Amino acid sequence: MGYSGARGGLAAILAAEDLVRRKRDHAPAPWASTEQITERFRLAVDRVMGEAGLYHEPTAAAALRQAEGDPLEAAHLVRAQRSTLPRLANSEPVDPDELIVLRRIVPAFREPDGPQLLGRTTDYTGRMLERPDGQPAPPDASPEPEPVERTDEQRQPRRFLDLLRKLDLVVDHRGENGDAEPHDITRVPARPPAARSAVLATMARAETGALVGLWYRSILGPDGDVHEVTLGEVRHGRLPLRIRHPHTGNPVTVGEFRVTEAEAIEDLDGAEEDRTKFDVGYGLCLGHNERKVIAMANLDIANRRFGRQGPLEQLLLLTTDGLDSGGFLEHLKLPHYVTFRSMVERKQAMRAAADAGMGPRVADPAGRDCR
């Protein structure tokens, strides 16, 4: 592609960047602190952490503030920041069964092992704007909830998938792909055909809207009817972060991080599939982002069943990353004077040749002259 500098050159670019900073830093409203953004816009902060692949709430909140609320730009800032950080250690593998559950719903079964914990959600709330912008909430509008003591069994309930396995109703895919070591997409780009860990890692870091859109298209039939989709379980909670002690070599817990995970269930009805069982897909991402993990879990099944037969795996690996797709889109705003000028000159040359009788003005599939 041919590029040319913007009219005005470096001075125009610096003036444009300065205008952004002055409008942002000298707005009439007070400057929002990272703590305010983390507490008030928690889902946006979690989305930025997930799409950036870095779990650090203050960094994500600062990026969201600098990006003026644009999650994609904020994720770009966080990834750029992450690229400057040293890798001090590799964390130990963690078992998702260690999750300390903050929210757990099982849409597929009324009385699963362990409780249904609705947690913090607006799933059952009417979409009504509560008050005009800027009007403070009355002191007694929503009193501080009383802390609820939960037992270990309630905070770490058995999985619904365990019940299905006990009933021998699901296909067990564990260990069948030989994918012992997870694929590190931050160092080696994932390209088809890829291991399942590479596809899951790519989806975990994908742009949420792109992933949900691809999932929705994958379940739509030719007439727009939605194929039957069953959600087994959705969880949000805290997992421990462990590393090896540099002197003793023993695992040491150095912190914790929040994740959301989902398991989707699909009826097997293919000609070469075991129709007496279900297939189960899995999704997990940083922070609280249920839309993403539900789409992940269903696309995990779809990719396993149909991805190698069509373009789904290629779409998942190459088109859902927000920085890739958004970056290509943003670059279209750069000056393309040279490129477009060459296109114009080619059109003019073709027209001149056609007018001189040296070639057709319009191409024809059959090869006939369409002048």
pLDDT of 147 over the 90 cut: no
- In this prediction, residue 10 carries a pLDDT of 84
Provide the percentage of residues in the chain whose pLDDT is more than 90. Answer: 50
- Categorize the per-residue pLDDT at 20 as very low, low, confident or very high, splitting at 50, 70 and 90: confident
For the chain, which residues make up each domain, given as ranges?
9-82, 96-120+151-327
pLDDT of 159 over the 70 cut: yes
Asked if residue 242 lies in contact with residue 252, where contact means CB atoms within 8 angstroms, the answer is yes
For 187-198, what is the mean pLDDT? 89
Each residue of 243-284: pLDDT tens digit?
Answer: 999 999 999 999 999 999 999 999 888 777 888 999 999 999
The predicted model scores a pTM of: 0.87
- In this prediction, residue 100 carries a pLDDT of 94
Q: How many angstroms separate the CA atoms of 8 and 13, rounded?
A: 8
pLDDT of 177 over the 80 cut: no
- In this prediction, residue 1 carries a pLDDT of 45
pLDDT of 70 over the 60 cut: yes
Pairing state between β 278-286 and 230-244: unpaired
Q: Which two tokens stand for residue 138?
A: 């009355």
DSSP state of 366: T
- In this prediction, residue 216 carries a pLDDT of 93
Query: What DSSP assignment string belongs to 75-87?
Result: HHHHHHHHTTS--
- CB proximity list for 31: less than 8 A, separation 6 or greater: 25
| Higher per-residue confidence, 240 vs 141 | 240
Each residue of 273-324: pLDDT tens digit?
Answer: 888 999 999 999 999 999 999 999 999 999 988 866 678 999 999 999 999 9
- Categorize the per-residue pLDDT at 367 as very low, low, confident or very high, splitting at 50, 70 and 90: low
Side by side, which strands form the sheet with 278-286?
100-105, 230-244, 251-267, 278-286
| Higher per-residue confidence, 368 vs 262 | 262
Hey, which residues does 266 pair with through a beta bridge? Answer: 279
Distances (CA, A) of 293 to 4, 87, 175, 289: 42, 27, 22, 7
Burial of 66 (0-12, 13-18, 19+ CB in 10 A): middle
How many Cβ atoms sit within 10 Å of the Cβ of residue 34?
17
Query: Which range, 144-148, 245-249, 258-262, 349-353, is most confident?
Result: 258-262
Say which range, 159-168, 222-231, 256-265, 358-367, has the weakest mean pLDDT.
Answer: 358-367
Q: Which two tokens stand for residue 111?
A: 């009385």
